[in-house]
Amino acid sequence: MRHGHTNYNDLGLCNDDPNQDVRLTEMGKEQAQSAALALRGVAFERILVSPLPRTFQTAAIINRFHSVPIEVHADLADIRTGFDGMPVSDYFAAITRDPLQMRVNGGESLLDHKQRVIRFIDWLKTQNDKTLLVVAHEETMRVVIAYFEGGIEDTHLRNIHVGNCEYRRYILA
């Protein structure tokens, strides 16, 4: 699942620093509550979130129906753009020459991020849980979707759009 709508979504800003004041808006809280109602019958054993507070805030709302542990996993963090607090449009302009491999301002490339998310999925395969909820970010969800649904080339990852609090169900094999 992607986290709920945030104040930085409204501002069009990048965020990968958990210390920044990025939080769910009222709309984001309502989105999380709607998702919580839709998922209330699912028997989650735990919820995994990124280190960024917006994922924990979303998970906490959903967890009202589950009361399971919420754990942070670093590999779920949003892409480190090198543009924290700056416009997303500036980041896209900076990587336009090579969107898959460009690293700017000490950030990671899209392919670096993809490898990190794949490492998380590999770790997840070693876990004994039957049903988990993972709350992450659109960039992270793009990799997850491509991994589980297949047939999506790296050059088309950016064509995958995931709405706030949109979720997908996958089975690890």
Could you report the per-residue pLDDT of 30-77, keeping only the tens digit for each? 999 999 999 999 999 999 999 999 999 999 999 999 999 999 999 999
In a domain, 51, yes or no: yes
Domain contains 147: yes
Q: Give, in order, the Cα–Cα distances in Å from 152 to each of 67, 145, 148.
A: 36, 9, 10
| 81-107 pLDDT tens trace | 999 999 999 999 999 999 999 999 999
Give the annotated binding-site residues for substrate. 2-9, 54
Instruction: Select from 167, 141, 164, 134 the least CA-distant residue to 28.
Output: 164
Domain count, the chain: 1
Asked whether residue 169 is assigned to any structural domain, the reply reads no
Let me know if residue 1 belongs to a domain: no
Locate tokens 């949109």: which residue? Answer: 166
Tell whether the model's pLDDT for residue 171 goes beyond 80.
yes
Query: Is 167 inside any structural domain?
Result: no
**Do the domain assignments include residue 70?**
yes
The torsion of the CA quartet 81, 79, 56, 163, rounded to 10 degrees, works out to: 100
pLDDT on residue 166: 97
Does residue 132 fall inside a structural domain? yes
Judge contact between 47 and 76, C-beta under 8 A. no
Q: How many CB atoms lie within 10 A of CB 43?
A: 8
CA angle, 155 then 160 then 6, to 5°: 125
CATH classification of the domain holding 154: 3.40.50.1240
CA distance 20 to 17: 6
The answer to whether residue 165 is domain-embedded is no
Q: What is the pLDDT of the chain when averaged over all its residues?
A: 96
- Report how far Cα 152 is from the mean position of its chain's Cα atoms: 18
Range of the domain at 20: 7-159
